[in-house]
Amino acid sequence: MSYVDWQIHGPELNSCNCDFGCPCQFNALPTRGDCRAVAAGEIEHGYFGDVNLDGLRWAAMFDWPGAVHEGNGEAFLMLDERADESQRDALLKILTGQETEPGATIFNVFASTFTKVHEPVFAHIDFEADLESRRATCSVPGIVDVATSPITNPVTGAEHAVRVVLPHGFEYIEAEFASGRVSSTEPIHLEWDKRHAHIAMLHLGPYGQVK
């Protein structure tokens, strides 16, 4: 089957309610039995067919009562208010896993696990990410605030660097692991500090990782 030609390339942050490391990264069950997460990113270079997506930002909140693959999840998308109608349509198609080979991207995999999807909002999204320092922030005013920082040694306080490589990953190939702090309001309430986070450069297309 052929799909619309598209690509997104740029930094992403992700934080969930699991302990540092996140068992999902290793095909294990979530730390606390359920999975709650925030993801956000900026498209440094991207397109969907002939629609340019350069510079646009996105964010999403998720909630599953168990492990992701067990389904019955809930999702809420936030898209850059600067996007015009064609860009909004393109972002929605990519982030909801459309025009994608089954199982090829995190967006497509997640889409198959939702039973409740809230109407998306188009809002101002602040986003910054520095992979080397493992620091990133995302804020959608009145909705969600996310910040990552280095994991620190509990004895010395020194920064603890962790990098994970997933050669066949459907989200990233390489990510810097960090500590995440999240606070959100409706429609999905999330609240935690010093839980798993990672920062990565996404480079995805309809058939998964672009190498």
Q: What is the DSSP string of 78-106?
A: EEETT--HHHHHHHHHHHTT-SS-TTSSH
pLDDT digits (tens, 9 = 90+) for 104-123: 999 999 999 999 999 999 99
pLDDT at residue 26 greater than cutoff 80: yes
| pLDDT band for position 12 (cuts 50, 70, 90) | very high
The structural domain count of the chain equals 1
Whether 24 is covered by a domain: the verdict is: no
The answer to whether 169 touches 198, Cβ cutoff 8 Å, is no
- Average pLDDT of span 44-53: 98
Comparing CA positions, the residue from 3, 209, 203 lying closest to residue 99 is: 3
| CA distances for 85 relative to 54, 107, 122, 164, angstroms | 15, 21, 11, 37
Note whether residue 189 is domain-resident: yes
Does a structural domain hold residue 23?
Answer: no
CA of 4: how far to CAs of 41, 62, 100, 210, in Å?
21, 26, 8, 15
Q: Tell me: pLDDT of 1 over 90.
A: no
Identify the band that residue 186 occupies on the pLDDT scale cut at 50, 70 and 90: confident
Residue 25, domain member (yes or no): no
**Host domain of residue 174:** 6-17+30-206
**Which pLDDT band, with edges at 50, 70 and 90, does 65 fall under?**
very high
Q: Which two tokens stand for residue 5?
A: 């030609």
For residue 25, pLDDT over 90 is answered with yes
- Biggest CA pair distance of the chain: 54
**77 in a structural domain:** yes
